[in-house]
Chains A and B, each alone.
Chain A
Amino acid sequence: MPAFYLIVITLGAFYLGYRFYSKYLAERVYALDPNFKTPANELADGVDFVPTNKHILLGHHFTAVAGAAPIVGPAIAVYWGWLPAIAWVILGTVFGAGVHDFGAIVTSARNRGQNIGTLSGKVISARASTLFLLIIFFLLTLVNAVFGVVMAILFEAHPGSVIPAVIVIPIAMCIGQWVYRMRGAVLIPSIIGLVLLYAAIPVGQMFPIHVDGLADMLGLSVRTTWVILIFAYTWVASRLPVWLLLQPRDYINGQQLLVALAVIFTGVVVGWDTITAPAVNDVAEGTKHWFPYLFITIACGAISGFHSLVASGTTSKQIANETDARYIGYGGAMGEGALALAAILACTAGLGSAADWNTAYASFGAASGGALDHFVTGVGHFLSNIGIDAALGASFAVVVVVTFAGTTMDTGVRLQRYILEEIAELAGFKALVGKTSLLTTLAVLIPLALALVPGGDSSGGKGFAFGQLWTLFGTTNQLTAGLALSVISVWVMARNRNPLAAIVPLTFLLFMTSWALILNLLDFLAQGSWMLLIMDAGIFVLTAWLIVEAVTALNRQRRTA
């Protein structure tokens, strides 16, 4: 089947979802009121509360929710075939993410723009705030671990992309000096930065960076050496002032996201590639089955709890009219779904023949260990359709993913530092409070240890546990979505509206998450993977806790009604 048909089907389904289901949500479930005075209007201060044009706000919201995760999940999940992956992206976006993101904005806007953490404490129970903090702790630990491995895999497989990926750092620092110190405008510097970055791609191809010598000296594998180097970089980066690297790199990332989406879809249309992956892959007996693993492998791109954190607390403070929440929340979810679609296309139509695809996706380990490599190869192929050398195209894709992953890890370690400090305070470990270097070291060592856990994933016998880490990350992300959907459900019930639109995805997510966690727990026990077992058990406890809190809150609300 031509890949273009998949674009038409998916975007057509998104259109129908927006046209009809989001209308139903707006009118019957969330009962939007165009005369409701939003926090942006009621508290307008021009700083946090600003009534904002919905087109501007969609741009802010979308770039805040879109990133590398909707690429990784689908790139792994096509292991089960393109049909389950795209079906979950469509159904998840239309009936899950749309409801969740849209609902988080409305619920927050109806509560003076409070974030989901505060709202869960208020709407569900006081304990839910602690639950929220713990979920975020697990989430950030896993985010840092998986993105560390993602970067290592890409650098090992594409040594020609190391120079362009690294050159982003001095470019971003120059932009940071220009924008924040000299107060200059950013258009010309960011264009120059982007040109320099793309010019570095062929340079990187000419001078690929290998760390084999260092790896031999340390007695480690190449991938392990890269993982350690990346975490060492993250330690340093997270200690720098944000204006020097983190913020200015975002100026480059934003442009890169748009360029990447544009070239991928243009390449597919121009090349008229066909999908060579099977609709449903007949996976070997005893391997991970798509049911329930598909639903936690693709979190971002189908439904992601992270979105509720952006939707509540920030986007909700800026909607000028309550009815705009439909366009921004549901529209932003569809944008993320389109990113997942791009990843599915790259990994199902960009890898060559059916035999090539079968080799790339020979096992779940190969699928997860090589997921990003498959994505960048596919993007390289799409770029070759528009006259760009496939190797240069692949390097371009690596740079896009690495700059997002690097920024995410930088932020993740900073946040983890704050959370560890808060937990230390709560637990009475005063010795840790205010010790930034020590806290940063802990924030790096915990995910580093996870990232180095051995496992069965490989695209060349490297033996990492990336697939397991990714599914754990997916469960935690779905747990965050579950917390937000619980808040939304209780709030909808309190308004005497039918909450089924939120309760159905909530129940589905918690069921799939619990099931996958139990299966993983048994696997880790059998393999003797104690570190993953502890993480899994911890997340399972949080899931059980959330189920109890959600059921109690819904029952309480039902009795009140």
Chain B
Amino acid sequence: MAARSWRDHLPQGSRGPHRLILVREQDAQHSGSGCCGRLGEAHTDLGGAADYRHSRVLMQDIGAVYREVRARLPDLTVEVVDPRNTVWLYPAVWQDARAAGRSARECFAGLRRAGAALAVILDGEVLFSGRMPQTADVVAAIEQRLSGS
């Protein structure tokens, strides 16, 4: 039996040869650790939206990239993940970077920059971390990398 890879776990129709990981905080994580501090969407409805405005801005910035990438590069696998999801994020970035032929040193450098409140990672390479330019420029950078691969 063939070894299973992350692509086997993806929904049908999203198993392209390249993977884009968009890192940003999730709403579900917004109200503090522990079940008793999480009210999910009810938290936002009750007024929490104002508290987390800065995180929403980043979510919306990444959302714009997501929509643009989905429209222009439908075959590209796109994952959106919270930087606190360390169990998934770091192994995934490492695996993608190794699969793309990067050295261990480059892989470690990638890991160091991957977990930010906002990051754009293509095939294990961290294109933007912490800040990013306009959506069009981000998508152009992704397309440029893909055309060069």
Contact indicator A55/B88 (Cβ below 8 Å): yes
Q: Is the CB of B45 within 8 A of A117?
A: yes
Q: Are B80 and A50 in contact (CB under 8 A)?
A: yes
State in angstroms the CA–CA spacing of A63 and B66 once bound together: 24
B95 interface hit (Cβ, 8 Å): no
B46 touches which of A48, A180, A418 (Cβ 8 Å):
A418
CA distance A254 to B112 in the complex (A): 18
What's the minimum C-beta distance from A190 to chain B, rounded to whole angstroms?
8
Q: Are A186 and B83 in contact (CB under 8 A)?
A: yes
A520 within 8 A of B: no
A306 at the interface (CB under 8 A from B): yes
B33 touches A180 (CB 8 A): no
- Given that A50-B66, A143-B36 are known contacts, is A117 also in contact with B42, CB under 8 Å in the complex? yes
Do B115 and A187 have beta carbons less than 8 Å apart?
Answer: yes
Contact A314 B34 (CB under 8 A): no
- Check B116 against A313 for contact (C-beta < 8 Å): no
Size of the B side of the interface (Cβ < 8 Å), in residues, is 65
Whether B32 and A56, one on each chain, are in contact in the complex, defined by CB atoms closer than 8 angstroms, is no
CB < 8 Å neighbour of B38 from A54, A187, A241, A309: A309
Residues of B within 8 A of A187 (CB): 90, 111-112, 114-115
Residues facing A in B1-49 (CB within 8 A) are 6, 9-11, 14, 22, 25-43, 45-48
* Residue of A whose beta carbon sits closest to that of B23: A185
Interfacial chain B residues near A254, Cβ < 8 Å = 33, 84, 86
- Type the 1/0 row for A235-261, where 1 means its CB is closer than 8 Å to any CB of B: 000000111001101110111011000
Among A47, A147, A408, find the residue whose CB has the most chain B CB atoms closer than 10 A.
A47
Is there an interface contact between A183 and B131, defined as CB atoms closer than 8 Å? Answer: yes
> B68 to nearest A CB, angstroms?
9
Judge whether B47 and A418 touch: CB under 8 Å.
Answer: yes
Near A by CB (< 8 A), chain B positions 47-94 give 47-48, 51-52, 54-55, 59-60, 62-67, 70, 79-88, 90
Decide if A44 is an interface residue (CB 8 Å cutoff). yes
Within 8 A of B (CB), among A335-374: 336
**What's the least CB distance linking B14 to chain A, in Å?**
8
Instruction: Mark the stretch among A66-74, A196-204, A286-294 that contacts chain B.
Output: A66-74
- Report the minimal beta-carbon distance from B99 to chain A, rounded to whole angstroms: 17
Complex contact A312–B130 (CB within 8 A): no
User: Is there contact, CB below 8 Å, between A314 and B27?
Assistant: yes
Complex-state Cα separation, A241 to B16, whole angstroms? 41
A136 interface residue per 8 A CB criterion: yes
- Give A229 to B129 CA distance when docked, in angstroms: 39
Partner of A408, one of B29, B33, B54: B33
The one of A46, A61, A116, A411 in contact with B37, judged by C-beta atoms closer than 8 angstroms, is A411
Q: Are A59 and B115 closer than 8 Å at their CB atoms? A: no
Is there a chain A Cβ closer than 8 Å to B122's Cβ? no
| Min distance, Cβ B92 to any Cβ of chain A, angstroms | 9
User: Cβ of B26: which chain A residues have Cβ within 8 Å of it?
Assistant: 60, 314
Contacts of A320 in B (CB 8 A): 11
Whether A505 is near chain B, meaning CB under 8 Å from some CB there, is no
Q: Is the CB of B9 within 8 A of A250?
A: no
Question: How many whole Å from A226's CB to the nearest CB in chain B?
Answer: 20
Q: How far is the CA of A190 from the CA of B90 in the complex (A)?
A: 14
The CB with the most chain A CB atoms within 10 A, among B10, B28, B31, B34, is that of B34
Would B87 and A59 count as touching, CB distance under 8 A? yes
B25: which A residues are within 8 A, CB to CB? 247
How many residues does chain A have at the interface if contact means C-beta atoms less than 8 Å apart?
Answer: 81
> A251 to chain B: which residues have CB within 8 Å?
83-84
Q: Is A552 an interface residue (CB 8 A)?
A: no
Contact B42–A115 (Cβ < 8 Å) = yes
- Interface flag for A152 (CB, 8 Å): no
Bound: A372/B111 CA distance, A:
37
Given contacts A147-B36, A185-B115, contact A54 B9 (CB under 8 A): yes
CB pair A404–B34 under 8 Å, yes or no, is yes
Q: Which residues of chain A in 383-433 are interfacial with respect to chain B, using CB atoms and an 8 Å cutoff?
A: 403-405, 407-408, 410-412, 414-415, 417-419, 421-422
Instruction: Evaluate contact between B35 and A310: CB separation under 8 angstroms.
Output: yes
Known A66-B35, A421-B47: A59·B88 in contact at CB below 8 Å:
yes
In the complex, whether A65 has a CB less than 8 A from a CB of chain B is yes
**Are A46 and B67 interface neighbours, CB within 8 A?**
yes
Q: Does B107 contact A (CB under 8 A)?
A: no
In angstroms, how far is the closest chain A Cβ from the Cβ of B146?
19
Q: In the bound complex, what is the Cα–Cα distance between A241 and B115 (angstroms)?
A: 22
| CB–CB A48/B27 < 8 A | yes
- CB pair B32–A250 under 8 Å, yes or no, is yes
Interface centre among B22, B41, B88 (most CB of A within 10 A): B41
Q: Does B113 have its Cβ within 8 Å of any Cβ on chain A?
A: yes
What is the bound-complex CA distance between A415 and B40, given in angstroms?
A: 12
Q: How far is the CB of B115 from chain A (nearest CB, A)?
A: 5
A interface footprint on B89-131 (CB within 8 Å = 1, 0 otherwise): 0100000000000000000000111111111000000000111
- Extra inter-chain contacts (20) besides given A53-B9, A59-B88, A115-B40, CB under 8 Å: A56-B81, A59-B87, A60-B82, A66-B34, A67-B33, A67-B37, A69-B36, A116-B42, A147-B36, A179-B116, A185-B130, A186-B115, A242-B52, A310-B35, A315-B28, A411-B32, A411-B38, A415-B31, A415-B43, A418-B48
Top 6 nearest A-B pairs (CB, nearest first) are A67-B34, A46-B66, A313-B41, A183-B130, A46-B63, A47-B63
A–B Cβ pairs within 8 angstroms, 13 of them: A59-B88, A60-B29, A61-B28, A186-B117, A188-B112, A243-B55, A246-B32, A253-B34, A310-B40, A312-B40, A315-B28, A321-B11, A404-B34
Binding site for B on A (CB under 8 A): 44-48, 50-56, 59-61, 63-70, 115-117, 136, 143, 147, 179-180, 182-188, 190, 241-243, 246-247, 249-251, 253-255, 257-258, 300, 304, 306-307, 309-315, 320-321, 336, 403-405, 407-408, 410-412, 414-415, 417-419, 421-422
B residues apposed to A, CB below 8 Å: 6, 9-11, 14, 22, 25-43, 45-48, 51-52, 54-55, 59-60, 62-67, 70, 79-88, 90, 111-119, 129-131
